[in-house]
Amino acid sequence: MSNSNRQLWIVGAFALLVAGLVVTGWTVRDRFLPVEVGSPAPGFVAHDMEGRPVSLQELRGQVVLLNIWATWCAPCREEMPSLQRLHERLGARGLRVVAVSVDGASAVERAAGDPRKLVGDFAREMGLDFSLWLDSTGAIQGSYRTTGVPESFLIDREGTIVKKVLGAIEWDSEANVELIERLLKS
C-alpha cells in the first residue's frame, strides 16, 4: 500500500469514527438533556404507601404537581406544609399533588429502616394527606435528571411540564395558585 493510500485510509477511518460518534450522540441525547419546561414529563413507576405499583401515566388528563423529595431533606420538610395547603385549596378542583420519596435509594438509607415506615411516620407527623409515592431505587431522579431534592414539576393535562422548580418554594403563593387555576380551567 502506498503512502498516499495509507493516508486516505486513515482519514477515511477517522471520518467514519467521527460520523459514528455524532450519530450515537444524537440518538442518546435525550438521556442527557435536562428535563425542562415545555418537554413531556417522563413516565415512571413508583409504589404507593400500600406497596402497589403506580405510574404517572395513570394521571394523564389531570393537572399534576410532582414533587421529588426525601424525609432527611431539611428544605423538603420546609416545603411540605405549603404542598398540603395547596392540596387542601385546589385538590377538590382537580389538582393532583404527588410527592415521590426517594428514601431508601442509597445503602445507608436502606440500613436506616423501611422507607415506607419512614415516609408514613413523616406524613403523620406533618399531617399530609395528598398522594405519597415511594421510589426506593431513585430511578425517578435519573428519569427527571434531578440535581437534588426537592425538585418539583408542574405538569398540564397533556403531560407537558409547565413549571420546574429546584429547591423549596411556597407552593400556595398567589402566583402559583393563579398559574395552577389557569391550568385547571384549560
Distance from the first to the final alpha carbon of the chain: 70
179 CB neighbour count, 10 Å cutoff: 14
| Alpha-carbon span 98 to 44, nearest angstrom | 13
More confident residue, 183 or 30: 183
pLDDT more than 90, % of the chain: 74
Regarding whether 143 and 130 lie in a shared domain, the answer is yes
Q: Which residue has the cell 402559583?
A: 176
Confidence class of residue 26 from pLDDT cuts 50, 70 and 90? low
140: CATH: 3.40.30.10
CB-CB contact of 26 with 18 (8 Å): no
Position 24 scores a pLDDT of 61
pTM of the complete model:
0.82
Q: Each residue of 29-78: pLDDT tens digit?
A: 555 667 899 999 999 999 999 999 999 999 999 999 999 999 999 999 99
Regarding whether 93 and 170 lie in a shared domain, the answer is yes
160 beta partners: 40
Confidence class of residue 106 from pLDDT cuts 50, 70 and 90? confident
Q: How many helices (H) and strands (E) does the chain have?
A: 6, 7
Position 33 scores a pLDDT of 66
The residues, any chain, with a CB within 8 Å of residue 81's CB and separated by 6 or more, are: 126
Position 25 scores a pLDDT of 57
Confidence class of residue 112 from pLDDT cuts 50, 70 and 90? low
Residue 17 has pLDDT above 90, yes or no: no
| Alpha-carbon span 136 to 106, nearest angstrom | 8
Regarding whether 27 and 58 lie in a shared domain, the answer is no
Regarding whether 164 and 80 lie in a shared domain, the answer is yes
**Domains: count for the chain:** 2
Residue 106 belongs to domain spanning? 35-185
The residues, any chain, with a CB within 8 Å of residue 11's CB and separated by 6 or more, are: none
Regarding whether 111 and 79 lie in a shared domain, the answer is yes
Residue 185 has pLDDT above 90, yes or no: yes
Q: Each residue of 129-173: pLDDT tens digit?
A: 999 999 999 999 999 999 999 999 999 999 999 999 999 999 999
Residue 9 has pLDDT above 90, yes or no: no
15 CB neighbour count, 10 Å cutoff: 10
